[in-house]
Amino acid sequence: MEGFFHVWPIDRVLELVSTLQPVDTEVVPVEACLNRILAEDLISAEDIPGFHRATMDGFAVQASSTFGATEANPAYLNLIGSVGMGEVPTIPVGTGEAVRISTGGMLPEGADAVVMLEYADRIDDILMEVYRSVAPGQNVMMPDEDFRRGEVLLNAGKRLRPQEIGTLAALGRMSVRVYRKPRVAIVSTGDEVVPIDCKPAPGQVRDVNSHTLSGFVRSTGAEAICLGLVPDVLVELQHRCREALSLADMVILSGGSSVGMRDLTIEVLEAMPGSRVLLHGIAISPGKPTILATCGSKLIWGLPGQVTSAMVVFLKIVRPFLERLCGMDSKTVVRRTIDATLSRNVASVQGRTDFIRVSLRRDGKRWLADPILGKSGLIHTMMRADGLVEIGIHTEGLDEGSRVAVELFD
């Protein structure tokens, strides 16, 4: 086929992300929207908190009544009452007057500041002295200081964390429109792969990829549908691919993407009605023999069977596509990184992007990144790693002592 195993640079592959459309949307109750992706701009329908609110325990006053107050020369104010929590005050505050107030209480009419409790003393039931002056607005939250009516608080594409759920609650929102969770079907292929509850015979391995990939899918915010193992039989793989496409928005085939006699993924994909193979091969290591195809509007990935390759390809290539399907705004997706110092030389080859697994350790005030080298079939290289270091396509390795950005695993 044209373009067979003609590798694409990673940047060119990721340019395809923008061609995708997110899945459809649904309305969910606010208590069920944790980690969901907002599908509408969230606009405040009111000012929050909506009233002048004390931010300290103390006394509501006119700030001008305290000007010049010191410990040596305190200001004397008449204490005319108190404000209960959750009540609307009925006593206005005039010049030289004060009202007892608690944090969160509504300021009385006429008051424009709060004297903190520790800077005042009561002389008797009606007289108090203030040892420190306050400015207008001090220790007071304005009616629209948190949210302003008509303000866009959150844009569509934002992942809803507990703090965003708190925002919805503050606005009185009982439900919110979010993107539906995309469904991702995962199929492991290979005559040598057996279920994890089986004792592998010589030449066999347990099915690791179904479980690691489904975990990565769920951590991205999608639903994983594991469709089990398929042997290297063309008809069976075709049948399982059709089933996967009928159930899911994206399909991941694990294994069978290399150039070899028993690698059927390309043959299967080309035989699917309406399918088109976009690429076979990405200039990365590990993970070069990756396949991307479309069938209608759905993406089908052929990932290498080697466990480390499959995981790295998902994290660096597949995940941005899945995030787009989830409705995420790529401009707001944050990858957690740590600046570290490389503890040893690492070789690389120009013409491909290498992703080196590293573990992190503290060395005084700096982080050291220890490369974890090993073949792509060794799962322990990912288990021991804290993250990945990227070596650019035009770079011939990194020297000991190089400053690197370690992209942390979630």
Q: In this structure, how many other beta carbons lie within 10 angstroms of the beta carbon of residue 280?
A: 25
Same domain, 71 and 154: no
> Does 187 share its domain with 283?
yes
Query: Are residues 196 and 253 located together in one domain of the fold?
Result: yes
Q: Do both 32 and 92 map to the same domain? A: no
Q: What's the mean pLDDT in 193-222?
A: 94
CATH number at residue 136: 2.170.190.11
Query: How much is the pLDDT for 266?
Result: 85
pLDDT per residue over 2-54, tens digit each?
A: 444 578 999 999 999 999 999 999 999 999 999 999 999 999 999 999 999 99
Rounded distance between C-alpha atoms, residue 385 and residue 102, angstroms = 50
Domain with residue 298: its CATH number is 3.40.980.10
User: Rounded distance, CA 97 to CA 208, Å?
Assistant: 73
In the predicted structure, residue 372 carries a pLDDT above the cut 80 = yes
Is 128 part of a structural domain of the chain? Answer: yes
In a domain, 2, yes or no: no
Please indicate, yes or no, whether residues 174 and 42 belong to a single structural domain of this protein: yes
Q: Mean pLDDT throughout 182-193?
A: 94
Domain end, chosen from 303, 332, 361, is at 332
- Total structural domains in the chain? 4
Do 186 and 174 sit in the same domain of this protein? no
Domain co-membership, 388 together with 326 = no
* pLDDT number for residue 263: 67
Residue 300 lies in a domain: yes
Inside any domain, residue 1: no
- Do 310 and 252 lie in one domain? The reply is yes
Co-location of 365 and 323 in the same domain: no
Residue 219 lies in a domain: yes
Neighbour tally for 159: CB within 10 Å: 20
CATH number at residue 164: 3.90.105.10
Does residue 162 sit in the same domain as residue 187? no
Q: What is the rounded distance in angstroms from the CA atom of residue 384 to the CA atom of residue 237? A: 34
Q: Is residue 3 part of a domain?
A: no
Q: Is residue 353 part of a domain?
A: yes
Residue 271: CA atoms inside 13 Å, Cβ hemisphere, count?
13
Whether 89 and 95 have beta carbons less than 8 Å apart is answered as no
Residues 210 and 272 in one domain: yes
Weakest-pLDDT range from 40-44, 224-228, 326-330: 326-330
Q: Please give the Cα distance from 211 to 202 (Å, whole number).
A: 22
Q: What is the CATH number for 398?
A: 2.40.340.10
Domain-located, residue 5: no
Q: What is the pLDDT of residue 2?
A: 42
Q: Same domain for 127 and 113? A: yes
Which residues, other chains included, contact 341 with Cβ-Cβ below 8 Å and sequence gap of 6+? 363, 366, 367, 368, 369, 401, 402, 403, 404
| Sequence-distant (≥ 6) Cβ neighbours of residue 300 within 8 angstroms | 241, 245, 250, 251, 252, 253, 269, 272, 275, 291, 292, 293, 294
Mean pLDDT of 364-386: 92
Q: What is the 3-state secondary structure (H, E, C) of 58-96?
A: EEEECHHHHCCCCCCCCEEEEEEEECCCCCCCCCCCCCC
What's the domain range around 401? 337-408
Residue-wise burial string across 282-291, b where 16 or more C-beta atoms lie within 10 A, e elsewhere: bbbbbbbbbb
The 10s digit of each residue's pLDDT in 378-398 is 899 999 999 999 999 999 899
